[in-house]
Structure 1
Amino acid sequence: MLVKTFGSAVFGVNALTITIEVSIGGGNRYHIVGLPDNAIKESLRRVESAIQSAGLKMPRQKIVINLAPADIRKEGSAYDLPIAIAILAASGQIESREIDQFFIMGELSLDGGLQPIKGALPISIQARSAGFKGFILPKDNSREAAIVSELQVFGMSNLSEVISFFNGSQEFDPVKVNTRDEFFSNVNSYAHDFSDVKGQENIKRALEIAAAGGHNLILIGPPGAGKTMLAKRLPTILPPLNLQEALETTKIHSVAGKLSASDALMTERPYRSPHHTISDMALVGGGANPQPGEISLAHNGVLFLDELPEFKRSVLEVMRQPLEDREVTISRSRLSVIYPASFMLIASMNPCPCGFYNHPDKECTCGPGVVQKYLSKISGPLLDRIDLHVEVTPVNFNELTSSVESEKSEKIRSRVIKAREIQDIRFSGHPDLHYNAQMSPNMVRNICIISDAGQVLIKRAMEKLGLSARAYDRILKVSRTIADLEGSSEISLEHLAEAIHYRSLDRNSWAG
């Protein structure tokens, strides 16, 4: 007897329908075809043990399992459950009338328990778009899958429950998640706040500009100056995720298997802070079975690279293209996948190996040329792609012990949101543009118009600092953001001067 069940394979952040065909006939061998990987080839041992644990029998006949389309490689253990259900239906041990109306995915334990899978959300979206009635999957993944409307999602704990569902011997209620309630109930919940930071008003101003325009930023300062503390609070002043951004972000984390059983929809902007020993592949994504990297996990959020010069140069250089294109393409001989990577890069670094170059109180012990050598670990092309270079100085004792309450993140965020609203109107005719940092060079020329006096100012700055054409564009974008924060339709000399001030590492004299 031939029975078909349906599952899915995830490529990038999208899913494809996979048909699991099982035929039982004369003979006594098991065969799995259709480009399965080793995890799928081993599945029959898990399936046999799980079926026996459920009180049923594994057929002692020839079983042929085909995963179609046969020219696409299938990976992972999530096909255990659809294979088991198809074998039981083909051997007449369970009812098979409604099996073809459901997507079925899940990894089986030897005792029949269901283990969580990766990519439940994109698979759920594919099930709905393909016209299936429902989706049966492990209970730990049910909440993330249930945010897809117009699809019945059933979270199961073990194989016995799935068998009871299809036999009709037990009633199960579909998992319900109110997407909008889930989204709006947690959209403003953050553990950190800018009011925790004493002093550093100039740094807070730079972070506000970066948040308002989506600009990349680097903080340069001695140890203990508060660089990491400030960076951790940046997501609290970014505009809240909208529903579309939340779905995009949740899909990526679902594919990477980063969502817990209690998560349904990501409502906070992601903040990723990988260690400087990270590899190229772990940062941008890839592997034999391509997975999203840290830059994609930071999509719609913040990627914080602490101690930037300590990262391998090759790791930093692979970020250059994603910083421009806001996506990364992973190409292999058999497939090519695209992961979104629209993130804000926030980096921090010491000014020199000892950490005290330009320190107001402590003396730098680095020898001649050491500071410049340390800074040269970061390439010029990468620095060009960072809009704001900000020097962080230590907080003095009076500021640290002051009883004056610092400005809360909520107040700063309100100004950032107003500036973003201006940009939404500006880019209303460009669906892929949302903030100033995304402007193309041609748009910069048309939108960031400056006066003759402004042209003279920026010309002198470029000649004195030796700025590149890309840095020129960055200055104009940042000045446009500063004007937006003030609600000004024109870029004034003050806006330009402040934007030029945020190019510390471009100064020829900075490192002596």
Structure 2
Amino acid sequence: MSLGRTWTVTLTGLEGRVIEVEAHMSQGLPAFAVVGLPDAAVNEARERVRAAVHSSGVTWPPRRTTVNLSPASVRKTGTGLDLAVAVAVLTAAGLPDRERAGRAVHLGELGLDGSLRPIAGVLPAVAAAVAAGRCEVVVPEANAEEARLVPGAEVRAVRHLGELVRSYGGEAHVPEAASSVLTAPPPPPRRAETDLADVRGQDEARFALEVAAAGGHHLSLLGPPGTGKSMLAARLPGLLPDLSESEAVEVSTVHSIAGTLRPQHGLMRRPPFESPHHTATEPAIVGGGSGLPRPGVISRAHRGVLLLDEAPEFKPTVLECLRQPLENGELILERSGGQARYPARFQLVMTANPCPCGLAAGKGDRCTCSPNERRRYMRRLSGPLRDRVDIHVQVPPLTRASLALSEEPEPSVAVAARVARARERQRRRLAGTPWSTNAEVPGEWLRSSDRGLPNDIRTVLSRALERGALSQRGLDRVLRVSWTLADLAGKDHPTIDEAGTALALRGSA
């Protein structure tokens, strides 16, 4: 009888859990079992591990082998446990350097030829290992750059199982083919940020975009085709400041799990931008996959911008999925395989035409839609969803006169400088709280008497609430926008002017 052990990490959402992998060999009929609540992918590791060991020139012990994944109460998912299972089995079979093998954390998927293949989620997995005090981590060579982003990690990059066996004092064969390491498929290229100077006219919409950027507010743009709604929305990321260190780690972790992180560029420092097509399904937006779900579009947009272009064209079930993350800033997915919790604090930007043909703006002379068709079209954006959007702006068609009267458009760099100053004021005011932008601040904190809110603002908003022009949620959102307008103006607190402008930007939500 012999026993070998090593360590690995399994992920549940963004949380990594260090797992002890034990391999026990005893006399009896040859068999290979994996216990400890493995999913289908982990169970299939038996065949991958056996083939990889044979391909490395190591004899598979003809004994009864049991691999235990501890703690047994935690569900183990994914193919990243392959390497740890193989090392535990070989250690039980007599690998010389048992102490070193039993000290390191092993991550990676095995090919049948013994090569190590990259896996998703290496960044949070290595971070969990380091946090647990296990700093020596073995990863596939294709994941090494990502693993080295974690401070304190002692990363060893390996291309083939035989190479690792040799480093632990065993005899193994490393084929020449191992020199051409398999690399992770490249993620889609990141979109270059465009400049606000490209947008002519639309002064009100440009101002609304600046306010949304300064306070992290959600924005809705309504107008006929060709008025620049999509151009404006696509330029919002260029107005946002860089992510802080903690935000960059958080965003990079989400994209590591999703498989869209480019580790050669380090942590993600710019706010992400996601713009799904209107045919996107609910699992694509929210997250999906067998067992525990992977991050969807709204989690990949965390700390960035989620653009729903032509929002009424999205399925109503998809749109309604946004209500919880818009309110709470996170997404909790319950599946049969367990619960996954992903952050989802994004800025939502919705664009929409006024009717199916898009020509109902102004006099609507050319519109071919009936009144019922127009109502049904706009009802696809439900009242509760619209109520969660802070700023609603009409984007009218451009005329020759409006273009002549409009000033030379400011570039993004000038607007971004004002946004950065407003954000800095918010950070100083909210220091010591869990929030960093006005959009995150709860209503009761804003309404409290010690916030310095003038009585005339309280009176105006109370009257709007009594008339039914505002819901309680809408009142809180008007207060948040008022504080953002004050921050842009360099004021210590909003005045009746900022409150009136915030009410106007609230529009007909």
State the TM-score, normalizing by the size of structure 2: 0.88
Matches of 1:133 and 1:215, distance apart in 2: 40
CA deviation profile, 1:321-354 (whole Å, cap 9, x unmatched)? 2211111222346633321111111111111111
Are 1:348 and 2:337 an aligned pair?
Answer: no
Give the superposition deviation at 1:163. 2.2
**What stretches of structure 2 of length at least 5 have no aligned partner?**
173-190
| Contact kept? 2:51, 2:114, Cα under 8 Å | yes
Could you say which residue in structure 2 is the equivalent of 1:470? 473
Alignment-mate amino acid for residue 318 of structure 2: V
After superposing the two structures, state which structure 1 stretch, 208-217 or 276-285, moved more: 276-285
Matches of 2:500 and 2:367, distance apart in 1: 30
After superposing the two structures, state which structure 1 stretch, 193-202 or 80-89, moved more: 193-202
Describe the shift of the 1:448–1:303 C-alpha distance in structure 2 as closer, same or farther (beyond 3 A).
Answer: farther
**What stretches of structure 1 of length at least 5 have no aligned partner?**
171-188, 507-512
| Contact kept? 1:12, 1:338, Cα under 8 Å | yes
SS at match of 1:79: helix
| Contact kept? 2:95, 2:169, Cα under 8 Å | no
- Percent identity over paired residues: 41
Are 1:3 and 2:4 an aligned pair?
Answer: yes
Describe the shift of the 1:69–1:505 C-alpha distance in structure 2 as closer, same or farther (beyond 3 A).
Answer: same
Alignment-mate amino acid for residue 341 of structure 1: A
Alignment-mate amino acid for residue 240 of structure 1: D
Give the superposition deviation at 1:13. 0.7
SS at match of 2:264: coil
Describe the shift of the 1:456–1:126 C-alpha distance in structure 2 as closer, same or farther (beyond 3 A).
Answer: closer
Q: How does 1:105-504 map to 2 (within 5 A)?
A: 105-167=107-169, 190-260=192-262, 262-287=264-289, 288-332=291-335, 335-359=338-362, 363-396=366-399, 406-430=409-433, 432-446=434-448, 447=451, 449-452=453-456, 454=457, 457-458=460-461, 466-504=469-507
- What RMSD over aligned residues (CA atoms) do the two structures have, in Å? 2.7
Describe the shift of the 1:261–1:237 C-alpha distance in structure 2 as closer, same or farther (beyond 3 A).
Answer: closer
Could you say which residue in structure 1 is the equivalent of 2:185? none
Give the superposition deviation at 1:93. 4.8
SS at match of 1:204: helix
Give the superposition deviation at 1:416. 0.7
Alignment-mate amino acid for residue 212 of structure 1: A
Give the superposition deviation at 1:476. 2.0
Alignment-mate amino acid for residue 233 of structure 1: R
Describe the shift of the 1:264–1:59 C-alpha distance in structure 2 as closer, same or farther (beyond 3 A).
Answer: farther
Matches of 1:377 and 1:343, distance apart in 2: 22
SS at match of 1:136: strand
Could you say which residue in structure 2 is the equivalent of 1:25? 26
| Contact kept? 1:136, 1:154, Cα under 8 Å | yes
Alignment-mate amino acid for residue 88 of structure 1: L
Number of aligned residue pairs: give it.
487
Could you say which residue in structure 1 is the equivalent of 2:178? none
Alignment-mate amino acid for residue 476 of structure 1: L
| Contact kept? 1:140, 1:260, Cα under 8 Å | no
Describe the shift of the 1:32–1:278 C-alpha distance in structure 2 as closer, same or farther (beyond 3 A).
Answer: same
| Contact kept? 2:95, 2:168, Cα under 8 Å | no
SS at match of 1:390: strand
Matches of 2:240 and 2:270, distance apart in 1: 10
Describe the shift of the 1:492–1:401 C-alpha distance in structure 2 as closer, same or farther (beyond 3 A).
Answer: closer
Matches of 1:305 and 1:450, distance apart in 2: 36
SS at match of 2:370: coil
SS at match of 1:111: coil
